Amino acid sequence: MDEVKNRREALEEKIEDLEQTLAGLKAQLRAESEREQHEAIDRLEMYLGDLDKKNSNLQDFWKMLRSDIGELFGLSGDRGKNQ
């Protein structure tokens, strides 16, 4: 009977340890991801510059679209990519 009790207590202790470790790891992960977010926010000026590139975005997209349409209808995909 005592042996069963001891084993249970040991398991409970182990679970508690693991839960504490897990909570610690989760906190570390959250801190790491928040650090990344702060770093990304510091690059905001760069992203602001990207807002003025809408025309080149559309041109890039148009090339990809032509290529995908070509693939969809069994035409050569290269034609669209090269133009």
Partner 1 sequence: MTYTVTEPESPTASSNGAQWFVVLGLVYLLLVAVGMIGTGFKAAAGDQAKDLFAFASNPVTGVIVGTVATALIQSSSTVTSIIVGLVAGGLPVEIAIPMVMGANMGTTITNTIVSLGHVRQGEEFRRAFAAATVHDFFNLFSIFIFLPLEIMFGFLEKIGQTLAGILVGGDSMAVGGFNFIKPLVKPPVNLLKDVFHGMGANDVVTGVLFIILGIALIFVVITFIGKLLKVLMVGRAKAILHAAVGRGPVSGIFSGTAITVLVQSSSTTTSLVVPLAGSGVFSLKQIYPFTLGANIGTCITALLAATAVDGGNAVFVLQIALVHLSYNVIGVLVIYGLPFTRNIPIRAAEWLADLAVKNKVYVAAYIGTVFFILPLVLIGISQIMGW
Question: Is 79 one of the binding residues for partner 1 (CB under 8 A)?
Answer: no
Question: Is 65 one of the binding residues for partner 1 (CB under 8 A)?
Answer: yes
Q: Which is nearer to partner 1, 19 or 32 (CB)?
A: 32
Question: Is 31 one of the binding residues for partner 1 (CB under 8 A)?
Answer: yes
Written as one string, the DSSP assignment of 13-67 is HHHHHHHHHHHHHHHHHHHHHHHHHHHHHHTHHHHHHHGGGHHHHHHHHHHHHHH
Q: Which is nearer to partner 1, 1 or 72 (CB)?
A: 72
For residues 34 to 63, the per-residue mask of contacts with partner 1, x marking binding by CB under 8 A and - elsewhere, is xxxxxxxxx-xx-xx-xx-xx-xxx-xx--
Q: How far apart are CA 83 and CA 78, in angstroms?
A: 9
